[in-house]
Structure 1
């Protein structure tokens, strides 16, 4: 059997003691696996009835394995050894963690940033096949990525249809158009599984299997975990984790996830979407914070923080106060966290299967693309950074004339139970070092800080930002790419698309009354270095105070 282990202290332990007896007596575990849609209340019943297929995903997905392996063998025989995944949110995060953990290469293109797109389409094109994944079949980002790859294949004298694999729900617009176009293979996923719960369906398995992962072992691990999770027992790890996540009093709604040698690469990024998008609604929810072992949030003893440590099976971890540790193989962990998130949703009194606020930023971006408004003038410029805000009433920024002063002004708006969200609409590969400002901002503010790459976080924590409690303040970083990239047969470029996505999301946040500071880097390299220097100084001043 798969190796799973769990421990909890303080508020997390107390939450288990308080809620496990009721969860067991109400038969929540067995009812989840019986796909009982009534568990989350009448308002959620219609959606839940359509979204519980994940409980049987390991078994339902098993027949896909042979098809995926056969297609991989065909590609290998043709000299196609490089797989690129064009997908967003639930379509990309699971394959990324699956392949990284297995040590297998998969290029994940989950951006509209021109430089990142160009890097993907110019890398080993002759040896490349792409997997285009979209549950709805109408995802703007993945459609744009498919278009540029199809153009580049054709220009290189490659039969594009033979290099494109589709993963989508049956009957979606992409399902129909892909079959009409005659693409190499169309895989249909289970339509009764939501995107963030889809890691063990075709969305996770097709790109991972084509890249070379042993997906049979992954499914076996998940199936073994499912057998444990269906038991109505107080020792059920999924019930215990769910109680810890959703049942603390008062609610510790900042869930700081830190890897302590779990052997799973990037799991917290996958869990971030699962938890934030599932729970962040109706003014409540859980905000995952992806952290490192030395991150400030872990040792500060904040009253609204729950620390979750991902550990190895044989780890001997000494937990601090109000902490959780959990161990297990990747497939098992995916099942446990999906189950626990559903349990937490029941305790929070929300529907864990909808995402009512995700569409708002998409609609705003589409509106900006159609209207092509003039750029808003900067309030001021400091070096390579232009400073703006999306708020009509931005009295909080009054008097600021440097980036340091603007950041200090934004930090001053943080409520006592708030968080700072950094959103970087840049090439997440080329500009990866920028993510280090997260820890420094956490030190400077003494509050939890999240860091997301745009536009991918719009399919993830974006739901919590709008639908969760109104306690977030937002730092958006954008940049002017040195060279833009046209999208075939579209009236806008990749550069215009990512700019509209950033501006649209900023406006929606501002419309929700959230403070939004926008920093635009006129020279990306110089601007990143300037911003890193400013943030380091802020953290230093805080430390010295």
Structure 2
């Protein structure tokens, strides 16, 4: 069963104050009943078609026979290598479910040619591709489907027996699936992408990979009756803590899960909270994988451990539902609509405009430091100086965001010493991983440093970066492509698309006057090594 406990007096006081207000207005029962008027007139129309997640613990049980049939057919055909092509809410939940269940799932929420090539080279004859997209028109998902269709066909394998499509009714992807004869699972249309963990988007790939999805629904179903209560309601307790703390200035949400049996939940929470609350110049910034700085604007929420201001205990299915409910409440307290994402489309439109040009306008570098080209308005002339400049530019209430449009699996290609033990192997991987830059720069500031992989961050924290408070400093990393991947039927490669996405997002940040610098690695491995070395040259 779920339990939310306050472990710090200031949090308990702020939460109690706002919870009393919510209860007096009948909010817990109204939200549990799906009342779309809670967030005001401007949000009512959207909320009316975005509250289906509250019914998923029951509604999704109807999917179980369908999922059983899909799994049976896949096993009979020897399809054991499950690849998920989906972005944001269409992939993050399944990744957490499968990692927690310890079943293999390859998630392609990327346009990086190296990362895609790696997946393409794995057990093609045993591969089943799940293509997941709510709108059915996401460029990344479309590109990956085209690439796999060509690959299957060229290998003499019929795509129709190897592709499963998950989408909303009436989407272009539904039409395409029907025409191609793909297995098709239609999702509940009144559920937004980031609230879709317990829908077909989370369940189809997870079931195919071997996770027990019926158990997830049981876990969510057990907590569902509590969400209408004024006391003993974990959703209310968590939502009051998030919203109450943010209203009191504690709007940096540090997520701690080191001791949890659930694997990767903060990555899912990050999208849910950032994309739901980061708009109209306000919001809650989730920070994943960071140590607390003991600063006054932090709220540490711990999953199944005492290392935070708030402790959240419960099984994964219940965690999904309670965090969704709490995020909806936090939006209400912040007086924003938690169900829209007004700034996400801007980067997509910028990308499309850039792809239409004969050449991408990368510009001229401000300076070059070994295998790293630096673009932007920096006054420094080497990387250590640039890092110092960026850290000094962070406002007193701000943060630094590192956004890497690179291959998030490439670090595992790093050479390790012969006969190395696991600790030595881990060290070698860390020193080849762009994500290590976050930890190194965090040592030099008392402000939060976040890290995100592009383009997945465009469907997640990207909304907060552009719509949230004007207090972010941005460091984008791109890289030269050694072996590109063409996209069949499209006039671009994955490498060109990836760079256009990066430049498009950078443009969206710059038009808002947000400090942003792009580092381009002319040699990816050497470039990462130079970045990590420079971060240690204070």
Q: TM-score normalised by the shorter chain: which range applies?
A: over 0.9
Task: Name the counterpart of 2:401.
Answer: 421
Task: Name the counterpart of 1:484.
Answer: 484
Determine helix, strand or coil for the equivalent of 1:192. coil
Task: Name the counterpart of 2:237.
Answer: 240
Structure 2's unaligned 5+ residue stretches are 412-429
Alpha-carbon distance between aligned partners in 1 of 2:210 and 2:202, rounded to the nearest angstrom: 13
Task: Name the counterpart of 1:345.
Answer: 331
Is 1:305 aligned to 2:298, yes or no? yes
Query: Deviation of residue 20 (structure 1)?
Result: 1.4
Alpha-carbon distance between aligned partners in 1 of 2:533 and 2:128, rounded to the nearest angstrom: 40
Task: Name the counterpart of 1:402.
Answer: 382
Alpha-carbon distance between aligned partners in 1 of 2:13 and 2:344, rounded to the nearest angstrom: 33
Instruction: Write out per-residue CA displacement over residues 475-496 of structure 1, whole angstroms, 9 at most, x where no aligned residue.
Output: 0011012111101111000000
Segment drifting more, 245-254 vs 171-180: 245-254
1:262–1:327 contact (8 Å) kept in structure 2: no
1:375-454 matches, cutoff 5 A: 375-389=362-376, 394=377, 397-398=378-379, 400-431=380-411, 433-454=433-454
2:4–2:238 contact (8 Å) kept in structure 1: no
Alpha-carbon distance between aligned partners in 2 of 1:446 and 1:440, rounded to the nearest angstrom: 12
Task: Name the counterpart of 2:345.
Answer: 359
Change in CA separation of 1:318 and 1:307 when aligned onto 2, cut-off 3 Å: closer
2:281–2:469 contact (8 Å) kept in structure 1: yes
Query: Deviation of residue 430 (structure 1)?
Result: 1.1
1:282–1:350 contact (8 Å) kept in structure 2: yes
Determine helix, strand or coil for the equivalent of 1:439. helix
Task: Name the counterpart of 1:519.
Answer: 519
Alpha-carbon distance between aligned partners in 2 of 1:318 and 1:246, rounded to the nearest angstrom: 20
Task: Name the counterpart of 2:422.
Answer: none
Alpha-carbon distance between aligned partners in 1 of 2:184 and 2:113, rounded to the nearest angstrom: 27
Match of 2:184 among 186, 193, 206: 186
Query: Deviation of residue 536 (structure 1)?
Result: 2.3
Alpha-carbon distance between aligned partners in 1 of 2:3 and 2:393, rounded to the nearest angstrom: 42
Number of residues of Structure 1 aligned to a counterpart in Structure 2: 516
Instruction: Write out per-residue CA displacement over residues 262-320 of structure 1, whole angstroms, 9 at most, x where no aligned residue.
Output: 2110000000000000000000000000025xx2xx1x311111111111xxx5x265x
Task: Name the counterpart of 1:535.
Answer: 535
Segment drifting more, 143-152 vs 405-414: 405-414
Alpha-carbon distance between aligned partners in 2 of 1:41 and 1:5, rounded to the nearest angstrom: 28
1:423–1:454 contact (8 Å) kept in structure 2: yes
2:287–2:448 contact (8 Å) kept in structure 1: yes
Determine helix, strand or coil for the equivalent of 2:302. strand
Give the TM-score normalised by structure 2: 0.94
Determine helix, strand or coil for the equivalent of 2:491. coil
Give the TM-score normalised by structure 1: 0.93
1:64–1:202 contact (8 Å) kept in structure 2: yes
State the 4+ residue runs in structure 1 displaced beyond 3 angstroms.
none
Task: Name the counterpart of 1:97.
Answer: 96
Query: Deviation of residue 7 (structure 1)?
Result: 2.6
1:12–1:243 contact (8 Å) kept in structure 2: no
Task: Name the counterpart of 1:150.
Answer: 149
Is 1:369 aligned to 2:362, yes or no? no
Task: Name the counterpart of 1:261.
Answer: 259
Change in CA separation of 1:164 and 1:346 when aligned onto 2, cut-off 3 Å: same
Task: Name the counterpart of 1:541.
Answer: none
Alpha-carbon distance between aligned partners in 2 of 1:270 and 1:536, rounded to the nearest angstrom: 30
Alpha-carbon distance between aligned partners in 1 of 2:410 and 2:494, rounded to the nearest angstrom: 17
Task: Name the counterpart of 2:427.
Answer: none
Alpha-carbon distance between aligned partners in 1 of 2:375 and 2:267, rounded to the nearest angstrom: 29
1:277–1:463 contact (8 Å) kept in structure 2: yes
Match of 1:251 among 230, 249, 252: 249
1:72-151 matches, cutoff 5 A: 72-151=71-150
Query: Deviation of residue 83 (structure 1)?
Result: 0.6
Determine helix, strand or coil for the equivalent of 2:363. coil
Query: Deviation of residue 14 (structure 1)?
Result: 1.4
CA RMSD, Structure 1 to Structure 2 (Å): 1.2
Query: Deviation of residue 499 (structure 1)?
Result: 0.3
Determine helix, strand or coil for the equivalent of 1:537. coil
1:424–1:454 contact (8 Å) kept in structure 2: yes
Alpha-carbon distance between aligned partners in 1 of 2:96 and 2:3, rounded to the nearest angstrom: 19
Structure 1's unaligned 5+ residue stretches are 539-545
Determine helix, strand or coil for the equivalent of 1:58. helix
Instruction: Write out per-residue CA displacement over residues 330-353 of structure 1, whole angstroms, 9 at most, x where no aligned residue.
Output: 000001100000010110000000
Alpha-carbon distance between aligned partners in 2 of 1:303 and 1:64, rounded to the nearest angstrom: 46
